[in-house]
């Protein structure tokens, strides 16, 4: 699940979300994990987030939003039950120079059931996704990235076609030659993905994010982020609007299909 902005504002009055393309916005991203429990009616009744070094006030704002979420009830043996899920969250903090306060948003949220007998399947997928080589100039400059790839798999699960759907750069120097940096990460990602094999989703189209994090970036929990436009092939434009695309996490895991969030992430 993905949303560009959420209607949660800290330090300012609530208002309409700013346009994603506004050039003066400073956008920062971070990731964290957590657990939540819902009751038989799909309401959040228990929640814990790993706050890391993301700021207590900011994380309290995210927790307040999550506690308002409603889910489609989890049904077992024909009746709705209390259920627990693990979460992986990508968070956004948006600041507009000259304006007090920051706007918070959920970029994406993934849900997983507690480990069961088939947990080894995702591990097998993860093992088959050999990581790309980190481009040398970018690692020296402390620049990171997330490259979202779209893969068309053949009947044996090999990558028949690969293309880049989006590129986000991380770091304080992302404004210097962003197109060149994006091209380096794109080339490295597509080259590595061409050798992947994902038999579990043979004959399907899958979306996989590839993340590059420098040691310095790992120490900074919130990272300055800039999206760089890329040329998207026509087949990707068609597939990205299709409900048939399988969305995987960076480790090759798939969000649980049992967890259906009814609350819109964008407010």
pLDDT value at position 6? Answer: 34
* Cα separation values, 1 from 21, 87, 228, Å: 20, 12, 21
Residue 118, CB-side half-sphere exposure with 13 Å CA sphere: 8
pLDDT value at position 174? Answer: 74
Average pLDDT over the chain, rounded to whole?
83
If DSSP codes are grouped into helix, strand and coil, which group holds residue 120?
helix
Expressed in angstroms, the distance from the first to the final Cα of the chain is 13
pLDDT value at position 21? Answer: 42
Comparing C-alpha atoms, which of 193, 212, 209, 196 is closest to residue 247? 209
pLDDT value at position 230? Answer: 92
Q: Is the pLDDT of residue 104 over 50?
A: yes
CB distance 193 to 234 below 8 Å: no
pLDDT value at position 14? Answer: 26
pLDDT value at position 99? Answer: 84
Q: Compare 171 and 64 and report the one with higher pLDDT.
A: 64
pLDDT value at position 88? Answer: 92
Q: How confident is the model at residue 8 (pLDDT cuts 50, 70, 90)?
A: very low
pLDDT value at position 74? Answer: 96
Comparing C-alpha atoms, which of 132, 112, 133 is closest to residue 123? 112
CB distance 1 to 52 below 8 Å: no
Q: What is the CATH number of domain 130-247?
A: 3.30.2420.10
Q: How confident is the model at residue 267 (pLDDT cuts 50, 70, 90)?
A: low
pLDDT in tens, 28-53: 999 899 999 999 999 999 999 998 88
Segment 3-31 shows an average pLDDT of 51
CATH 3.30.2420.10 range(s) for the chain read: 130-247
């Amino acid at each position: 699940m993905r949303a560009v902005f959420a209607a949660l504002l800290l330090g300012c009055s609530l208002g309409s979300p700013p346009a994603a393309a506004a050039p003066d916005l400073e956008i920062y991203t971070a990731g964290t994990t957590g657990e939540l429990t819902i009751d038989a009616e799909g309401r959040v009744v228990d929640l814990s987030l790993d706050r890391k070094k993301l700021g207590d006030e900011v994380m309290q704002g995210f927790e307040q939003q999550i506690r308002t979420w409603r889910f489609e009830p989890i049904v077992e043996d024909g009746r709705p039950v209390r259920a627990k899920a693990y979460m992986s969250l990508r968070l956004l903090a948006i600041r507009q120079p000259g304006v007090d306060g920051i706007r918070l948003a959920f970029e994406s949220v993934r849900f997983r059931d507690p480990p069961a007998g088939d947990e080894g399947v995702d591990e097998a997928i993860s093992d088959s996704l050999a990581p790309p080589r980190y481009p040398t100039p970018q690692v020296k400059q402390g620049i990171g990235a997330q490259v979202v790839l779209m893969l068309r798999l053949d009947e044996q699960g090999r990558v028949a076609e690969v293309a880049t759907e989006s590129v986000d750069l991380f770091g304080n120097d992302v404004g210097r030659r962003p197109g060149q940096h994006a091209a380096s990460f794109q080339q490295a990602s597509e080259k590595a993905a061409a050798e992947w094999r994902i038999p579990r989703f043979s004959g399907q189209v899958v979306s996989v994010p590839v993340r590059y994090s420098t040691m310095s970036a790992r120490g900074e929990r919130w990272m300055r982020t800039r999206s760089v436009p890329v040329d998207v092939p026509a087949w990707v434009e068609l597939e990205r609007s299709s409900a048939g695309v399988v969305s995987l996490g960076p480790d090759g895991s798939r969000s649980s299909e049992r967890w259906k969030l009814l609350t819109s992430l964008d407010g």
